[in-house]
Amino acid sequence: MGRLMKDEMAQMLGDIRQEVRLTKDWIGRDHLDERVMSAMKKVPRHEFVPSECRYFAYANGPLAIGQGQTISQPYIVALMSDLLETDAGDVVLEVGTGSGYQAAVLSQLVKQVYSLEIIAPLAHAAAERLRRLGYDNVEVRAGDGYHGWAEHAPFDGIIVTAAAPCIPPPLIEQLKPGGRLVAPVGTAYGHQVLTVAEKDKHGTIAMHEVLPVAFVPLTGRHESENDAG
């Protein structure tokens, strides 16, 4: 990474810390885990955005990545990673691979990341990008994340990067007791709230809201499913 990009990375990390301070009353913390900040520093965000957007790669905002999808604001990526409260030996599921950036950050924090992307061209491009950049503990599959990835369940943590009116029941089922799920909950273009769901050792779910957010909608054919909040 060149000197200019190192300076831009440093600015991004500073912006994240500043936004944490500004939102501390919502998020219940005045700093993020240094493991998370270290992971954010290690991942070259410019590799995960379209070439025409690279000038803005380290700006603290979302960017379009094609197919109607976006790469999330760095602050939100860092916050969601922090809220997941992972350990180095964890296995986590991501729903909504996008460009692969969030998965790359998570890969620095856990043992294994499984990531699902419903838009096949994005899934294939992200898988190739992650492979090329050496993120060997990330596996990407094209598929409907609503239904999770039962083959590798249960998961120590689940992160969802698209909004649904309620958290999909299959994801709750695939969360390990003691695990956390972090997701935006709300309507596609209306009120959304970043939400944390915790499953205790008895399988009981406790949920708490963190702060308002704006994500692309979770898509797929599951209108007949009975959602559970």
Catalytic residues: 72
Q: Determine how many CB atoms are found less than 10 A away from the CB of residue 165.
A: 14
**C-beta separation of 102 from 159 below 8 A:** yes
Q: Which residues contact 55 (CB under 8 A, 6 or more apart)?
A: none
Distance CA 12, CA 186 (A): 28
**C-beta separation of 83 from 117 below 8 A:** no
Relative to beta strand 112-117, strand 138-142 is parallel
Q: In what order do the strands lie in the sheet with 192-199?
A: 138-142, 112-117, 91-95, 155-160, 175-186, 192-199, 205-212
Distance CA 194, CA 212 (A): 6
Cis peptide before 154 (omega within 30 of 0): yes
